[in-house]
Amino acid sequence: MFTKKINFVVTAFNEESRIISVLNSIQPFASKIIVLDAGSTDNTVSIIHSHSSDVIVKLVENPYNFKSRINSAREFISDDNDWVMVISCSEFLPSSLGFLLLDKINSSKKLVGVDFYRQSYTFGVPTHSKKFHYLITMFCRTKNYRLFRLSFWNSTHSRMHVESPVNLPSSRTVLSLLPKKQFSLIHTRSGSLNDIESKHSLYSSREAIEMLSNTKKPSLLKGLFVFLIVFLYFLPTIFYNKKAFIAGFYHAFYKFQVQAKAFLHSQSD
């Protein structure tokens, strides 16, 4: 029996087809489950309430910025020493990883952050393997952590990602799990190309607004440059098959969309 469990913060928008599988994957390891819903127009919220009365649902305007996610969920987390993990509805927590995480956070009082590898799949094929990059960042002090103790969360440097840096005093430790298959988070981009396009359209608009609110100047040249970098980042998996190539191209185009939308917003003001 584990004394400590995890407060899961789940981001959702029109996820009626997969919200239950996400909730089922995290429920055995959860102290609390807080769903931040971006205004779903399908049956996502009613399905959650039918599934469990213990799941907290909060309507939020922008659940995509990491800092906004944590601040929106913080009112439901009773103790700043509790453990927090943000998870999207495109992710699935294998039980082998869940039990390992509980074992780690219950066996060390000094531990304040845990990271682990995430394997992505798009249209059913593996895309953009990051194992080499992950192994390199394991040795970086500024590495971001997927699971962290709330009181050590570094809110200043949290961005629009699923991981966050932590404040790390000399008396505390962090842990990065080796990228083994059974201990990796599963990230699946499912649905049709239209589904991916609609999500990218929403996310890029929100990210563009966030960029402008942080007084960052948009640049179409930067958008083109980032497009190229992201496309190269997907190498060599974009040549795995045609589906992987399409996925890589769409993710690269998403980054261009952010810059383009921010640029157009700035010109209209």
Residue 60: inside a domain = yes
62 with 132, same domain: the answer is yes
- 201 and 174 in a common domain: no
Q: Looking at the structure, tell me whether residues 95 and 110 fall in a common domain.
A: yes
Count of the separate structural domains present in the chain:
2
Domain boundary (137, 171, 186) is at 186
Q: Check whether residue 97 and residue 224 sit in a common domain.
A: no
Q: Domain containing 82: what range?
A: 6-186
Residue 198 within any structural domain of the chain? yes
Q: Model's pTM, two decimal places?
A: 0.81
Query: Which of 127, 156, 186 finishes a domain?
Result: 186
- The whole-number pLDDT of residue 166 equals 92
Same structural domain, 45 and 85: yes
Same domain, 41 and 160: yes
State whether 143 and 112 are in the same domain. Answer: yes
Q: What is the pLDDT of residue 161?
A: 66
Claim to verify: residue 25 and residue 100 sit in the same structural domain: yes
| 163 and 135, same domain (yes or no) | yes
1 assigned to some structural domain: no
What residues contact residue 136 under an 8 Å CB cut-off, 6+ apart?
A: none
* Average pLDDT per consecutive 10 residues, the chain (269 residues; last block may be shorter): 91 91 96 93 94 91 74 89 92 96 96 93 74 83 89 80 85 94 86 75 81 79 85 71 78 87 82
Do 135 and 227 lie in one domain? The reply is no
Residue 191 CA: distances (Å) to CA of 110, 131, 199, 234, 248: 41, 25, 11, 20, 16
Whether residue 196 sits in one domain with residue 105:
no
